[in-house]
Amino acid sequence: MSSPEIASLSWGQMKVKGCSTTYKDCKVWPGGSRTWDWRETGTNHSPGVQPADLEEVVKKGVKTMVIGRGMSEALQVPPSTVDYLKKNGIDVLVLQTEKAVEEYNALAAQGVRVGGVFHSTC
């Protein structure tokens, strides 16, 4: 099963190919996507993305995780979150969201088992 292409990104809106939902923030993995609801894990811009935000995607067997920090990179990614991924043998890219989507789509097009979490505003 391949990772779905992110079809479009603009401020506050993301579309995933093959999905009718428009996301504000989203999680993607080989074979699927869903809304990334920060309230589920108590995530805020600081301290930022927690391992709990990534567990669901990690369990899908991804080899690379792309984290989109927002259009202005307001979303933090603490070293403990990067360490969590590396300890699970997962390569990690932490980028501004537009760049993150470009990298994610390039990896997905190459057939890499890539997952991602993307913040589409600040």
Give the separation between CA 63 and CA 103, rounded to whole angstroms.
Answer: 14
Give the separation between CA 110 and CA 72, rounded to whole angstroms.
Answer: 28
Alpha helices in the chain (DSSP H): 51-58, 79-87, 97-109
Q: Is the pLDDT of residue 12 over 90?
A: yes
User: Identity (one letter) of the amino acid at 74?
Assistant: A
Q: What pLDDT shows up at residue 2? A: 94
Mean model confidence pLDDT for the chain: 97
pLDDT digits 0-9 by tens, 65-94:
999 999 999 999 999 999 999 999 999 999
Q: What pLDDT shows up at residue 37? A: 97
Dihedral class, residue 73 (left if φ above 0, else alpha if ψ from -120 to 50, else beta): left
Give the separation between CA 73 and CA 34, rounded to whole angstroms.
Answer: 21
7 pLDDT tier (thresholds 50, 70, 90)? very high
**Stretch 21-36: mean pLDDT:** 97
Rg (Cα) of the chain, in Å, rounded? Answer: 13
Domain 6-118 has CATH 3.40.1230.10: yes
Closest CA to 82 of 72, 91, 74: 91
Within 13 Å and on the Cβ side, how many CA atoms surround 44? 3
Q: Is the pLDDT of residue 14 over 90?
A: yes
Domains of the chain by residue range: 6-118
Q: What pLDDT shows up at residue 1? A: 87
